[in-house]
Structures are given as C-alpha cells and as structure tokens.
Chains A and B, each alone.
Chain A
Amino acid sequence: MNTPLSSSITVKLGSLLAGVTLLMLAGCGAESTGASYKATVTMRDSAIVPGGDSSEPNGNGGTDNGQTPTTASGFGTLTGLVKFVGTVPVLADVAPSKQTDICKPHKDEALIVNPENQGVQNVFVWIKKRPKGAEATSVPNAPALFDQQFCQFKPHAQLVRVEQKIIVKNSDGVAHNTKASTFLSTPFDSGGLPKLSETEFAYDNAEKQPIVVTCSFHGWMKAWQFPLKHSYAALTGADGRFVLGASPDNPDGLKLPAGNYKLQVWHESAGSGPPSNRYLEKNRTFTITANETTDITIDYPARKASQTN
C-alpha cells in the first residue's frame, strides 16, 4: 500500500474506535426482556370474561345441574349387557410378593367374564350429566364401605357420590396404606392404616372416569372408584348386566326423560396407561322412549382386553 503514514494511522484508529463502539452497543437489546423488564399487569375481575360474556359460577358440592328442560313426555329406563366377544383370556392369579403368610395368591379381578353369557363384570356405565327433568337424587346418608382383606380390596370396583362418606376399612392382619390417585378431586392418602382399623373420607369433586385406588405397601392391590355428582350410572354385575341408576333401595334403576343420550362405557382392561385411555366406548348413543325399558348390548372385543394394567 502506498498510503502516507498519517492516513494509515487515522484509518486504523478510526476502525478501532468504531469496533469498540459497536461492541458496546451490542448489549442494547437486553433491556427489552428478562429480569429488568417492567412487566405490565392487567387487573381482571372475578368472573370469567371470555369473549366479553360473564356468567355466574355454578354451584358445587354434591348437587348437580341438569341440562335445558326438554318438553319430555314420559320416562324410561336403560338396561344393558356388556358382552365379551372372542376368546376370553385366562388371567394368571395374582401372586403377592411379601407377607405371604397372610397375603395369599388370588384370582385376578381385572377381567371377570361370566362363562355362561360372556358377560363382563365391573364395567362402569354412565351418562355425563343428569338430564333436567330427571329426578335429582341426594347424596346417600349411608356411607360406602371400602374394605381390604387378605391383601385384596373389596369391592374391586365401586361407584360413589361426591361428598358421600366412604369408610376405608382394614380388616386384614397386616397394615395397609390406601391411596386414591385422583385428577379432578383431592387425592386421598389414608396414611398408615394399622390392621383391624378404619378411617373415612369423601371425594370433594367428580372425576371424569374411574380412578385407581392402590396400596403403597402391596403393589398388586388395585381397585377402581368413580365419584359422580349424580346417580345416573351403574356397574355391571356378575352376569354382565346393568340397570342405569340402580341401587339396593332402587333395583329398578332411575328413569330418564324420553330422548337421545350418550352412554360412556369404561373398564380397566379396555386399555392401558391413564384411566382416560380405558374406555370401551365413548358416547355410545341410546334412545329412551316413554314407559319403556331400553336394552342395549355393548361388545367387548377380545383385542381390547389389555393384559398389562
């Protein structure tokens, strides 16, 4: 280069200063986010305001809200059968791994199929909401009994009402620890439950589908409970049959206003993983006609019987 000495120095000095300035400016973006950012806060009123609408909060507790009143004429009931289709898998007996002097091997209750009519026991069926116009039943005063003996829960499947007292009993010769893993209601942990003792609790919110109850000490122990805010549900019996809304005081079940409904059908062996993945059928439609009993049959295909629970 043939540039004179002074201009070369000028160039070098100038670019040095320019570079330093740019380096210092590089930090400029930092103020627009991060800890020093002054976040804005919008105060929002108590009621939900989506899209400008406001609504009053619904009541909670054991009561439920039905749908818009239908000009229903007459009531009917729903009965049904959940039938196993295909070769019934033979489940291995449950073999307890500890305290075997009291906990003996027993039949696996995860899938109980009646050999005579292929009916499946312990299938939960329900409709999501009590239809308006249908009878609103109150929470039963009598507590539900949930027991455990010989390291087995009794009953294996149970329908309860929200806020219904459940007596958790330990009629066993060993201590247990009963836990209910809930999604929408408060989880329950009995803590150490010594032998021949009991405690009680109640679900404070309905669940979307049955939830599992386990024992911390005995990993094979499993039962399913389903708290609902209404009684329009049923559990299939040993013959695989159900009557919607039936109870010991009311074996004929609850009456529904005539119309179309959607039935949810759920069983623990219909899938694996979270309870939301174990539906036999979601939104199975059925129709109620006045003064008649609707009877439906739900197929339980063999392939749905999940061996890994």
Chain B
Amino acid sequence: MNARMKLISTASTALLLAGCLANSDTEFVYQTQTDELMKEAKKGFKQPDGGDKVWGLENYLLDLFGTPNDLVAWKRLPVDFGAAGNNLAQGRKLYMEHCMHCHGVSGDGDGPTARYLKPLPRDYRKGLFKFTSTLASDKPNRDDLKRTIKLGIPGTYMPSFMLLTDSELHSVTEYVRWLALRGELELKLDAELSDYDNSDAVRQSRRDDIAAAKKALTAAEKEAEKKPGDPALKAEVAAKQEARKRAENAKETLDKDVRQFLLSQGDSAEDGLREKVDENADFIVGRWARVTDGQNRIVPLAPRTPSSPESINRGRRLFLDNEIKCLECHGDTGQGNGPQTRSYAEGADKPGLFDDWGHPQKPRNLTTGIYRGGRRPIDIYRRIRGGIKGTKMPPNIKLKDQQVWDLVNYVLSIPLNEGPAVTQNKHDHDHDHDHKQADASGE
C-alpha cells in the first residue's frame, strides 16, 4: 500500500474502534430548581482546614440513590427492593429498555423520543400521577401504577405492556416509584434551600439592591450637606451607609450562611441540610406509605344507578349546573371547549389551562369515547370524586353518590349520542346550543 492508503486505513480503523472505547455513563439529571441553586448548596464545599468535604444537595442524592449504573437501595423508602436489590436491578433493566426513551433516565419525561410526543410523557419527579384510585391529596398506590403500565393510556403514546410477567411488572413499578421518590426528595430539598437561589433573576435583584442603596446614600448625603450638624440627617446618612454595606455584603453573607447551613448538624441554632434531608425523607415516606396497603382509596358507598334515560338526563342537568361547573372547562357539549379554555390564568401570557408541570392542558373532550384513566364506571367515578392529580380537574366530595353515578352515566353516554348533548337548563339561558357533534370514532 502507498502512504495515502496507509493513512486512510489507520484513520478509519481508529474511528471504527472508537466505539469500543466510548463509555458514556448515564446520569440522573437534576431539576431546574436544583440547577439554579448556589454552587455550595448544590455540590457542597471543601473545608479550608482540611477535613471531610461538606455535603450539598447533590451529594446527598448521590449517596442515597446512586447513579443509574450504580444504584443505592435506601431501605427507608417504601420500595420493594428485593433480596440484595434484585428487584431494583431488574426494574432498572426493564425501565431502560422499555420506558427510558420516553420517560428519561431520571423519570423526567424528557427522554430521546419525548420531543415528538404530545401529550408529553409523565415527569415522575413531583410524585404526581394522574389516574389513581386514591384520595385527591394522596399518592397513587401500586395497583394504580400497575394498571397504567398494563393497560396503557389510550389517546396518548403510553402503550400497554400487557405481556410483562407479574414479577417484571412488579419490579418496573417499584423502579418508577423509586424514581418518583428521588424526584420528590430533590424538590423538597430545593424548597428548603430556596434561600440560596442563584438564578439570574435573584442575582439581578441583588445588583438592583446595591444600586438602590448607593442611590439612597447619595441622596441622604446631599440632604445632610444642606444642613450640616443636624443629628437626624446624620443618623439618616449612617443608616443609609449601613444599608449600603448590607446590600454589598449580601453575597458574602449568603456565602457564609449557606456554608453554615450545610455544616450545622443536630442541635444547633438552625437545622442544617442534614436534618432537612431527614425530615423531608420522613414526610415523603409517610405520604407514600400511607397508601401502600389499599388505604385511602376512593370507594363508592352506593352501587351504581343503572344507566337509563332518566339517569342520563339527571346527569346531564348536573353537568350543565352552574354550581358544579363541569361546563366551565368541558363545555356544554362536552367537547372540552368551555370558557376556562379562553380565559387567562393569573400571570399567564397564553389563554387556557395549564397543568402542574407547566404545560398547556386541554380539558378532556368527552365526545370521543377515549377514557385515559379507564372506561369502567368506577374509573369515571374516581375521576369525578378524586379529581385528576396534577391537572386542573378538581375533586368533588360534595356531590352525593347517586348524583355522581348519574354524572357517570351521562359521561359514558356522550359518545354514543346521536344528537346534541345539550338540554336547555332553565338557569342557563346564555349557553349556545351547538348541534354539531364531534365525530365519535371508536378506540
């Protein structure tokens, strides 16, 4: 071979072999609130006189949860890790194969395929799951998550994983719960460390404070010059100098403060980060453990009223009732085009509703016959009674069971109706009667 061929073959060999050497370790990503914290709050700091490194938020999370390749099974969590963590390892393997590409390595709903999906995949890290059987303020129990995984969510990109074995389903559910617990602890610690926010907005406001303090001092000094010897004005100048010093030292004070917060342990003037990790872990564990054995489930106290034209009509009247306000979001024909979709929420620059993850949220179009949380009567009952967590669908505990069943019968009948879904309710003269019904194709 001539020299050029030798060069080309060496270069291409090196390129091809590069695949053998590349080893990108997967990592858990941190949430925006964590990223915006001060460096010490995030990563801790090294003590100047040697000694152990003082831990920050990321160190605690790393110690208590590990990385995706080196997991830590923290026994305090209400997760079934299995003997020697086998369950968690199997769950991790299944998750990485089946779930990670949408839900992300950290369960953040931002995996490689997520950008093509609408609605977006669930971000577990708030511990909020939509379709549950538990009370409005409670976490989902295992059965809820298993049901979602097993049956999928029609109308979204979540497919059904019906063919997983029971053991596989159990382990992947535990892994998802584990990711949710990790995300929740991170969020709680972000809230505890919110004093040490270092986002652009906060840094700008510090700069504004300094500028304002300087301005005030100059103004006070000018005043004092006009009347030298006046003790009140002198005191004023002193106060303004004090204020300016405080503003200029704000960053240093904050630096000292955050280090003190990270350092302090146990009985000290202020609880340290370690105590906060402890307290919040307790709190989160308590909330998840509260529902693990089927407690706090929404169970009707009366059997379902059989579906009949009378029941459906009663349900229709309840739906259109101005006090119950279904039509505010779902619209009077149930198409999801109620007035709330056109009004501006406080501080929003776009009209409509937003869910707890900050994404635009359309109220469900009830005419399609697609029921994301399940189409059994009990499922619809639970959506009405317990609301949908993380969304603007509120719970309703004031209606009587019979009324809720009438509503359920009505909701289930909407896609099957041939004609308009509106009855003139004598209290609601200003509703327009849309006699066109959306095309109700099957699943």
Contacts and interface: CB of A to CB of B under 8 A. Distances in A.
Any A–B CB pair closer than 8 Å: yes
B194 A197 contact: no
A141 interface: no
A67 B267 contact: yes
Given A42-B85, A208-B191, A26 B136 contact: no
B93 A39 contact: yes
Nearest to A195: B323
B286 to A, nearest CB: 8
Interface string A38-81: 11111111111111010101101000010110000000000000
B387 interface: yes
B325 A43 contact: no
B244 to A, nearest CB: 13
Given A43-B85, A186-B137, A219 B212 contact: no
Contacts of A273: 201
B343 A277 contact: no
B394 A216 contact: yes
B60 A50 contact: yes
Interface in A1-55: 11, 15, 18-19, 22-23, 25-30, 32-51, 53, 55
A43 B12 CA distance: 44
Interface in B384-426: 387, 392, 394-399
Contact of B73 (A41, A184, A214): A41
Contacts of A208: 191-192, 194-195
B268 A192 contact: no
A12 to B, nearest CB: 11
A57 B76 CA distance: 11
Counting contact residues on chain A (CB < 8 A from B), the size range is 35 or more
A191 B397 contact: yes
Contact of B325 (A27, A58, A186, A192): A192
Nearest to A38: B89
B72 A44 contact: yes
A187 interface: yes
B188 interface: yes
Interface string B113-147: 00000000000000000000000110000000000
A197 B397 CA distance: 12
Interface string A197-233: 1010000110011000010110110100000000000
A67 B328 contact: no
B207 to A, nearest CB: 13
A176 B81 CA distance: 44
Interface in B1-31: 1, 9, 12-13, 16-26
Contacts of A214: 346
A33 B20 CA distance: 12
Interface string A223-267: 000000000000000000000000000000000000000000000
Contacts of A209: 194
Interface residues of B, number: 98
B157 interface: no
Interface in A136-190: 174-175, 177, 179, 183-184, 186-190
Interface string B78-95: 000100111011001100
A35 to B, nearest CB: 4
A174 B257 CA distance: 48
Contacts of B271: 65, 129
Contacts of B395: 189, 191
Main secondary structure of the interface of A (DSSP, over half): loop
A117 interface: no
Contacts of B195: 208, 276, 282
Contacts of B323: 174-175, 192, 194-195
A283 B253 contact: yes
Nearest to A275: B194
B325 A175 contact: yes
A255 B205 CA distance: 35
B394 A189 contact: yes
B346 A33 contact: no
Given A34-B96, A301-B212, A46 B71 contact: no
A106 interface: no
A104 interface: no
A134 interface: no
Contact of B70 (A40, A65, A205): A40
A301 B265 CA distance: 36
Contacts of B205: 271, 277
A33 B197 contact: no
Contacts of A32: 23
Interface stretch (B274-282, B364-372, B373-381, B434-442): B274-282
Nearest to B250: A282
Given A33-B26, A39-B68, A191 B398 contact: yes
Interface string B316-350: 00000011110010000000000110011111000
A283 B257 CA distance: 10
A296 interface: no
For A48, A204, A301, which residue has the most chain B Cβ atoms within 10 angstroms? A48
Contact of B396 (A25, A41, A192): A192
B72 A58 contact: no
A193 interface: yes
For A26, A192, A216, which residue has the most chain B Cβ atoms within 10 angstroms? A192
A26 B345 contact: no
A217 B283 contact: no
Given A39-B92, A195-B323, 19 more contacts: A22-B16, A29-B20, A33-B23, A40-B71, A40-B89, A48-B64, A48-B277, A55-B265, A65-B271, A128-B270, A132-B267, A183-B191, A184-B191, A186-B137, A189-B394, A199-B397, A208-B191, A209-B194, A271-B205
27 contacts: A33-B26, A37-B69, A40-B69, A41-B84, A42-B70, A42-B72, A42-B73, A43-B72, A43-B73, A46-B75, A50-B60, A55-B274, A55-B275, A55-B278, A58-B279, A68-B268, A192-B323, A192-B398, A195-B323, A208-B191, A208-B194, A276-B197, A277-B205, A283-B253, A299-B243, A301-B216, A303-B208
Nearest 7 CB-CB pairs, A to B?
A: A41-B85, A276-B194, A191-B395, A35-B97, A183-B191, A35-B96, A28-B20
Interface of B: 1, 9, 12-13, 16-26, 52, 55, 59-60, 63-64, 66, 68-76, 81, 84-86, 88-89, 92-93, 96-97, 100, 136-137, 187-188, 191-192, 194-195, 197, 201-202, 205, 208, 212, 216, 243, 253, 257, 265-271, 274-275, 277-283, 286-287, 322-325, 328, 339-340, 343-347, 387, 392, 394-399
